[in-house]
Amino acid sequence: MRYAFLVAWREYSESAKTRGFWIGLFMVPAMILISIQVQLWLAKSGTPTRHFFLVDQSQRLEPAIDSALDKNRQRQLLAALVDYTRKNLLHQDALSTLVSSAPLAQLDPGSVELLETFIGKGGRDFFLKQVKPYLRPDAPPFVEPRPAFERVKLPPEIKTDKSIGELAADLKPYLRGDRRLEAGNNLVEIDAAILIPKDVENLIVRPGGGGPVFGTNGIQYWSANLTDAGTGLRDEVEKAVSGEIRQREFLRRGLDSAAVRDVERSFVPILSLNPKKEAGQEAVNTTDIVKQYAPIGFVYLLWISIFSIMQMLLNNIIEEKSSRIIEVLLSSVTPGELMIGKLCGIAAIGLTMVGAWIVTTFVILGWQSGNSSELAGQVLAILKTTRLVPVFSVYFILGYLLYAGLILSLGSVCNTLKEAQSYMAVLNMVMMVPLLTMMFIPRHPNGPLARVLSWIPIYTPFTMMNRANADPPMVDVVGTMILLVICTAGTLWMAGKIFRIGILRSGQPPKIVEMLRWLKG
């Protein structure tokens, strides 16, 4: 084994000197850091203000839309203020004291009660006055985020008494970006136009067939941005208009709209409880949900690490074989020692890369959790309190050995990378399955698909890693582990037989039938 160790050390030292190793070493931590920072930047500064026209020829819905968009702006301010407060607290104990105060019953930007209190008591100035005693003396001043939407006055030459069709035709140059308007001392592009016809009351669709055929006429929303539906300006306008129409319907039918609104806000809380948690702690929180999906990141990391190391191992074997270095090595060591040395050397490189990735991930999450990302703190707590990292280490080693056996067999019978591509194409297609299913399996971790894939050895590391936090049945945990170990040992034995004969072979790669004969020999 001394010679196998020397080969392993040579493989490790030679691979560690390459640029690809160092690029790979810093690539994943950089991606994690960049993804967190970019998301924070996009949420705060990267999203531009959307400017729009609003023409209400009916003069009935404009106040409701303006009120809804103003409320949206206050909600945006509240979320920014909550984030600012959490980052600049004197200490963590100050948070519980602050939350217990009557005006700020909770620091949840999604809370309807907190938003109404925020708006009713003065908004930004009220909030800052309440939290000031709990902030650090050196806390920076609060900077308001840019508004999500901003209404722009119509150009003087646009006449609102025209028909909706003529009005839309006049506004199209602005909506297409051919012309711009001044807003806040800047020339801006117009993203959308909301055109409400004069007879909008006649366009209301009522149950029982009242109103026009749905989709033939209505309020016109003009925008070239087709991704706006569901989360942007159009959604806010639609909710505001629908709410105002319903309020008018309540009044038309003699109902008290305020009483109806209070009734609509009445509800019975539905508590999510997990029967697997300890008594008294069964309530499901955000951390529990993140915990369920946290293995996805490890599945992706496992896939990247195995795939990249496979490529490294294949390139290494074929390069040495094509340059005849392999013949020099075999004059000093046996094929078995050479294979074991390469296997262990590249494994050590892989463990170095993965270890560096995990350590830097802990560092980045620890930094971000104390900075501005609540999610980073939750993920860090999950990594510390669960078995994800040990389970990942086991499945990485077994998965590497399993796939490395296939790569050693493949590399030993091919003379060039071009010859290996046909085999690698099949292997790459096989390895796409974990990526295609990694988002589905956490939703049904003990469903038929997850259990079937768990018992297929080439998918066992990825699937069982994805099920790690879902408490899979013990028969799956133990049974798949035993099967994976047996198949890995069998694959390495097969690789040894093929490697011994194929490593010195030249010419065309052998056919599958011929390699099967080698296994029998």
The span from the CA of 117 to the CA of 131, in Å, is 14
Which of 216, 236, 264 is a domain's end point? 264
End-to-end CA distance of the chain: 24
| Whether residue 20 sits in one domain with residue 102 | no
Residue 44 lies in a domain: no
Residue 73 lies in a domain: yes
Which helix (H) or strand (E) segment holds residue 183: the answer is: strand 181-183
Residue 224 lies in a domain: yes
Residue 157 lies in a domain: yes
CB 22 within 8 A of CB 353: no
Name the residue with tokens 């390069």. Answer: 319
Which helix (H) or strand (E) segment holds residue 274: the answer is: none
| Whether residue 65 sits in one domain with residue 94 | yes
Name the residue with tokens 């009522």. Answer: 206
Of 315, 225, 218, the closest CA to residue 20 belongs to 315
One-letter amino acid identity for 517? R
The pTM for the full model equals 0.65
Which helix (H) or strand (E) segment holds residue 344: the answer is: helix 335-369
**DSSP letters spanning 54-82:** EEETTSSSHHHHHHHHHHHHHHHHHHHHH
| Whether residue 431 sits in one domain with residue 358 | yes
Residue 513 Cα distances to 318, 407, 516, angstroms: 22, 18, 5
| Whether residue 368 sits in one domain with residue 444 | yes
Report the 10 Å Cβ neighbour count for 46: 10
What would the two tokens of residue 459 be? 């998918």
Per-residue pLDDT of the chain (521 residues; tens, 9 = 90+): 677 777 778 777 777 777 777 777 777 777 777 776 666 665 555 567 888 999 988 888 889 999 889 888 888 888 888 778 777 777 655 555 554 454 554 555 555 666 777 777 777 887 788 778 778 888 888 888 888 888 888 888 888 888 888 888 888 888 888 888 877 777 888 888 899 888 887 777 777 655 555 555 788 888 877 665 545 788 888 888 888 888 888 887 777 767 777 776 676 767 777 776 677 666 766 667 777 777 888 888 888 888 888 888 888 888 777 777 777 777 777 877 888 888 888 888 888 888 887 888 777 777 766 555 566 667 777 777 778 888 888 888 898 888 888 888 888 877 777 777 777 888 888 888 888 888 888 888 888 899 999 999 999 999 998 888 888 889 999 999 999 999 999 988 888 888 887 777 766 666 767 777 776 66
SS3 196: strand
| Whether residue 188 sits in one domain with residue 308 | no
Q: Are strands 50-56 and 192-196 parallel, antiparallel or unpaired?
A: parallel
- Give strand pairing partners of 223: 192
Phi and psi, residue 193, nearest 5°: -140, 130
What pLDDT score does 40 carry? 62
Residue 277 lies in a domain: no
Which of 237, 264, 291 is a domain's end point? 264
What pLDDT score does 230 carry? 46
Phi and psi, residue 186, nearest 5°: -130, 150
Phi and psi, residue 50, nearest 5°: -95, 120
Of 303, 342, 300, 302, the closest CA to residue 325 belongs to 342
CB hemisphere CA count around 266 (13 angstroms): 6
| Whether residue 408 sits in one domain with residue 347 | yes
For residue 411, what are the contacts with CB-CB under 8 A and spacing of at least 6? 313, 314, 316, 317, 318, 321, 420
Residue 42 lies in a domain: no
SS3 281: coil
Residue 270 lies in a domain: no
| Whether residue 167 sits in one domain with residue 253 | yes
- Angle, in degrees to the nearest 10, between helices 474-502 and 335-369: 140
What pLDDT score does 102 carry? 47
What pLDDT score does 91 carry? 64
CB 64 within 8 A of CB 240: yes
What would the two tokens of residue 12 be? 């490790």
**What letters, b where the CB count within 10 A reaches 16 and e where it falls short, cover 218-235?**
bbebbbeeeebeeebbbe
Which of 205, 235, 264 is a domain's end point? 264
Phi and psi, residue 19, nearest 5°: -65, -35
| Whether residue 301 sits in one domain with residue 404 | yes
CB 62 within 8 A of CB 197: no
| Whether residue 348 sits in one domain with residue 215 | no
Counting beta carbons within 10 angstroms of the beta carbon of residue 497, is it exposed (0 to 12), middle (13 to 18) or buried (19 or more)?
Answer: middle
Radius of gyration of the chain (CA): 32
Virtual torsion, Cα 166, 171, 177, 179, nearest 10 deg: 110
| Whether residue 196 sits in one domain with residue 142 | yes
What would the two tokens of residue 335 be? 């094929």
| Whether residue 402 sits in one domain with residue 443 | yes
Residue 62 lies in a domain: yes
How many domains would you assign to the chain? 2
One-letter amino acid identity for 35? S
Residue numbers of the domain that contains 405: 2-36+283-520
| Whether residue 247 sits in one domain with residue 215 | yes
The span from the CA of 400 to the CA of 155, in Å, is 66
Counting beta carbons within 10 angstroms of the beta carbon of residue 468, is it exposed (0 to 12), middle (13 to 18) or buried (19 or more)?
Answer: buried
SS3 content of the chain, % helix, strand, coil (to 5): 65, 5, 30
